[in-house]
A and B are shown apart, each in its own frame.
Chain A
Amino acid sequence: MHQFKPILRQDPPVTSELAKEHGLTAEEFERIHEILGRMPTYTELGIFSVMWSEHCSYKNSILMLKTLPREGGRLLVAAGEENAGLVDIGDGMAVAFKIESHNHPSAVEPYQGAATGVGGILRDIFSMGARPIAALNSLRFGTLEDPHTRYLFKRVVKGIGDYGNSFGVPTVAGEVYFEQCYARNPLVNAMAVGIVEHTGVAKAFAKGTGNSVMIVGSSTGRDGIHGATFASEEISEASEAKRPAVQVGDPFTEKLLLEATLEAIKTGCVVGVQDMGAAGITCSTSEMSAKGESGMIVDLAHVPLRESGMTAYEIMLSESQERMLFIVKKGHESDVNKIFDKWDLHAEVIGTVEHGRDLIVKVDGEVVANIPAETLVLGGGAPVYRRDAKEPEYLKETRSFDTASLKMPHDLTGELRRLLRHPSIASKRWVFEQYDSMVRTNSVVTSDGDAAIVRIKGSRKGLAVKTDCNGRYVYLNPRVGAQIAVAESARNVVCVGATPVAITNCLNFGNPYDPEVYWQFREAVIGIGEACRHFETPVTGGNVSFYNESPESAVYPTPVIGMLGILEDVEKAVSGRITNEGLEVLLLGPLSDDLGGSQYLTDRLGRPVGDCPLLDLNIERTVQQTVLEAIRAGFVAAAHDIADGGLAVALTEMLLSAPGLGISITLDLSPGMRMDGVLFGEAQSRILIAVAREHVEAIKALAKSKGTAVTKMGTVDATGEICVNGGVLRIRVEEARGIYEQAIPEMLKGEL
């Protein structure tokens, strides 16, 4: 039925130079020779090069990742075992969720790079049998004054929107930061969340000698060849030429693939499923074979192709999107065919599960590769390295800064205006309205909350999800900065009323062969581990993206945390927006003037200096517990954590939704405290809550029992104005809203 057949042709001779061009070191090439007991064929060289690339093998990160808490609590599978993490949410249901980077493709082809990033992470979820119910994304760009950044920003947002909207998954939350260091190497991290019955979970392994290996979904073309290798090197001038290594996405086909895959898994005749992402057929066949401790023979002559003259090498390395590998019970192939026919998709038997442990690839019966599957994969024969680490030089300078040397500003209101206008702080409406945030009618809280909430139909439960990481904090203090990323994501989930239960992470760093970068990575992973143990939120899996550097600068180390929380009763959810006058606004957590790492300090000095903001994990935990209990008791009308821009920005944001509201607050500073630090500092573990007057005493008692500090800020009034200490800062809420809402559209004005 297919038009195109692969061709056998004279392959180029395999030499050490060719191996080097494939990104393999001399030692790695030598090791391949040892494993095979002969020179690899050209196709085998291609297979080893992608499987041993950083992207697939995690060779420079796995030793550190193993130090993370990766089991316990509600985890149903240990991290890295399946396509995504799996968390028990009770009633026989589980949540599959994961975050992944698509930085390099997005740097050279932002629309397709971002779109296929979304497509890839969705496949990871539904290949487990789970239906995706929410998508999130975490984005980093350069500054919007730069036309290239505006181009990347607009195309990435459109790519994410077009893919998710068409597929039919609500994009419910995310974050966008703009910092110079990401100018040529944007970060595009996509997260997806799905739900599945425990009994319906599909495994990513090949078992059962004689069972069929089927390729399902799209046909295979030349797009994305060597995408995994491309993702394992730095972005350079030459990267532009690698645009063909970027895959092209088709969300319509993905939607059909979703429905067909879930239908097929339900029949019970599918033994294993793995998505084809990086390294396509190569990765899925070798990983499923290794994990199932089975051999496998595939014949590429049966792979539906979309181009003529493709070689075995090209077919094995293609990263064409919207494909899956199925292991199907012998004799049940036609059941799968029937379902895929219904959805007008390919489903072709390309091989069988065999005795032994070898992955054998043929073209029309002729063997082109024969490799022990185990030797290719992470946890098996893939290389593992411990890299040199060295504390970065720059920390000496950033740490030597003394806040006392910073002059108090004349105009605190002007400083607030400037912060509200900063695109990292300003409203992201321009972004999130391009995403369908409501499809599937489960979105209870989206842009108005610190985290998003999707309800689980047929139950009272809801899931709270959020991604967080302030790369500047991690740059200034990798260990504590990474702890803050975990703490903040947990705090955001708490602020909508959910209990944090588990994380997925996407670790975006520079070149690991640079000892200073590796030190940042090591410290950050240690910090994540410490925080996750403290909050009892194990790591379910995720992704490491190294080589995020561009000619001008290295990116901030950016370990993005995707937090999952559970609400037992979704009706108890709260947002971060105040809708009524008369409510009391309370600060839970310490009043602090710490300016470390703040946007305010960075903007004043034109560069990040000092330490990251203060974090005490014990205080953090008790503040979160206090707020969670207060929300569950029904005392809280709105809750919002103090983050970028500090107390003043958080308070302003809470008042932006209902016209006419205002507040007059009194801050009682102890001697020596700085007013700019109190207003704009970003010390952690602080949450503003709005409560009806009759609940104030109960909250105070609850906080006291937990040892959490409570400070009364003021009462919501109808003045339409925010006023601090009688006027040291004074702004009309309407004006603040205008600045906050218009900042990004104004920076993009006149451009489509």
Chain B
Amino acid sequence: MESTSSAGYISMIKNIKQISDVVWEIPKTFKQGMQVPARIYATENILKQMEDTVVEQLTNVACLPGIQKHALCMPDGHSGYGFPIGGVAAFDTETGVISPGGIGFDINCTHPDTRVSLQYGTWLTMKELESRWGNIEINFFNLSNKFKQETKILCQMSRQEKEFLYAIKTETGRELKVTADHPLLTKKGYVNAEDLEKNTFVLLHSFEGIKYERPSSEIVVDKNIIEQTLNKLGKNNAGNSVKQIINFLKKKNILELRQDSPQLPILLKLAGFILGDGVITFVNNKVGFCHFYGKEEDLKEIKSDIEKLGISISKINKRMRHHSIQTKYGISDFKFEECSIIKKSTALAVLFVALGLPYGRKTEKSYRVPAWIMKAPNWLKRLFLASFFGAELSKPSTKKNNQFTFYDLQLNMNKSKLLEQNAFDFLNDIRLLLSELGVESRYPVLVKGNNYVGKISDTIGLRITISSSCSNMLNFLEHVSYEYNQQKRKLASLASAYLRLKKSIIEHRLEVRKKAKELYDLCVEPGEIARRFETQLADKQFILHSIYDRQITIPRISYKFITFEDYAQKNSSGSDGFFWDKIKTIEIIQYDGLVYDVTIDNEHHNFIANSIVTHNCGMRLLKTDLTTKEVQPKLKEIVDLLFKTVPAGVGAKGFVQIKKPQFQEIMTTGVKWCTENDYGWKEDLDRIEENGCINGADVTKVSQKAIDRGINQLGTLGSGNHYLEIQMIKAGQIFDNQIAKKLGIFGNNQVLIMVHCGSRGFGHQIGSDYLQMFEPAMKKYGITVKDRELACAPFNSKEGQDYYQAMACAANMAFANRQVIIHRIREAFSKIFAQDPEKLGMQIIYDVAHNIAKVETHKIDGKKQDLVVHRKGSTRCFGPSRKELPKIFRETGQPVIVGGSMETGSYLCVGTDKAEEETFGSTMHGSGRTMSRTQATKQFRGEKLQKDLATKGIYIRAVSMSGLAEEAGSAYKDINEVVDTMDKAGVSKKIVALTPIGNVKG
């Protein structure tokens, strides 16, 4: 049997876990954006044959915001649209506010080359972000505290943009290429690109960082290195201390430490800081301490980072310090409040030493930048440098006598005079790292006057400087900057903006100067030139001066230009370096290519995913008190009559002729309309899920188009896999006599009738209508999904509620459709057997929906929660303790009707209480296709199938012979295996197997 799966694909999925005999779990790590793991209910055999797309779609669903516990797939699962058929997902109904929470250049629909700011000071272009590269988080702007923070990326999508993009340039020279509906953060809130105007302020942050590259899995520190370090420290193994330290580090997953360990970036930052304002000490050669000194706000960051390693920090200490330094000017006394973190942890201290850091007084120790850092990827190098600079490098500040120009950045270091060469070497290591990141610095120089007569030895002072020339400074500020120092970080971002602004103004002035001179050479009158080119930043005096000055020099900034201090104060937003920048130009550019979407920082939501609930299809099982003995001789007659009286197939017109008002009544009352209009019995209502009517249906949410499409279809079967089937119970096919009896099954050879159909074109049109409506809604709420067919809206939004209410209309129409059809069936039997259908015992056993979203209460982790449970090709299977069930089913559990193919037969099962814990009370709906329709038509001929089945005693009438071929039994999975799977899982118990003897198809 051919199938479209790549055999063994699922077993090739890394980390797929077998939870139990028939339950498999795909962890959240399988795909970026998964909120919950995915679970598949299947035997190993079924699992191996599942299509790749099932996994793809199931894990996409797991990315939807608000999803609870697991994204589930039943054993009959196969590929669908957006959601796999056989899929179940539950979402929280409580309202969640959707807050985009993004930065000014938040990512919605951007050009593939747009750089996205990520965790640990890295970036990737949108295009590169798409491929799976690990769990790195993305930066965003927290609107409340105005800090740059990081969070997970939830979803990503790319789509074709075939028309144009908006190219937005700001005053500081930043450029963004985005789609018209991409929102930027302005002083008045988020505004779409197409609505932005020149001179509007948008929020920016200057820091770009270093391009992310995958680190290697090279070992940095392993058990042996720790042992060697301990040896060198002279620590013996007294009290098993060596083993203890190693076990501690292993427990925290720090050993072995590799270049790609998640702890490495944090350790690098801490190491850089320690080389600046920290120290490692060992007391009495036994206990290790790590000290960090700095401002409280920065130590808070350090504390948080150390705690990310799994090591707790109890508090940040504060004390008054007195310092006495002998400088060339004399002895300087000062006191200040010093904040510090002092962590007692021999393991951590040893780890840092193993990483290459010195311990004890740094001025007395010889050390270099550890070799493994010198070889690391640039972004890791940068983390080390930046925190070292946060402690040791001066902050960007402008000169006292020229407030438009920055001082060079300085790094001073003191060292014992005896270690002068080492100091030079170390500083040159730092310079080398810097130059690899594109920043030039000057050779270390001895600084006279910074010598310190100390207790142990005389120290000397050395200094390196980073030149403040514009491009070098920008490289430093934008790619390296500072870590663990908020103040410096903020200044760095603002300084970069200021420098860029200055640069663009100087360029502007240079341009004006050049043009003025050209025109002057062409004998244009100076006054005229001045009039033509005069701008605020290049005034008349400047132009005249340009003309008369014989050389073309680079103009200086006008004294009217704003100072850095004033600029920072005016435009800064918050304390993390965000600032407002004016839009200089907005252009529309031709574009034909991909644009990218990313969803970040979503709070809990609740959703209806449209594609999950479109078709409102279901099954109904009708019993009779007849046996095959009575029915077989009249089978052909019955099937022919049903084929005549129950319209099916393309273009079939329903036998219930209604007008719009009645249709609307059906939409809101479902089966009740039928029973009130002689299309059913009152007791039928108890035997239908939701009593044949879902509350909350609102006819105004249904389009005229949907009504037009559905109004003539009440009382039609549809086609495809929909059918009406007459079934019997073969010997040995009752698995639980007691429950079977309670459900109305009396024994072998009993004849039953199963109807499989739904809301027809009506439900599908509603689905299509809302699928289209949800696309703008998703943009409105900042939602992106991995598959266009997963279009959705928050449950509690207007769009979401409208859809739910429209869906309820469709569901009610489906219940009514099945009701009128069984009415016809009762009539047909009554005619042929010349008896009232009541006397024939033609009660409904049950009617279930299997493509629907229901609001239900379920327990998650012991707590009751209201959920929107989506069942796409999955049937509800509540257990006996659910209050929703009518009294009779409180003894048995809810009946579950599982439709198989014409050849394999169907099942009647019941739900269990266990089902709630496992699958939100859901189970399979049928056996699921394995062969495509085109394949099936190639392999089977409808007419032949009909003949073959007739010889087996199965009589079929079908509107479409090709359609019949497509429904051949071998095109479906083995239903027995599917039903057994859920039985084994304890979710639904099989009660009776049903064998077809007659069938009517569209």
Are A and B interaction partners?
no
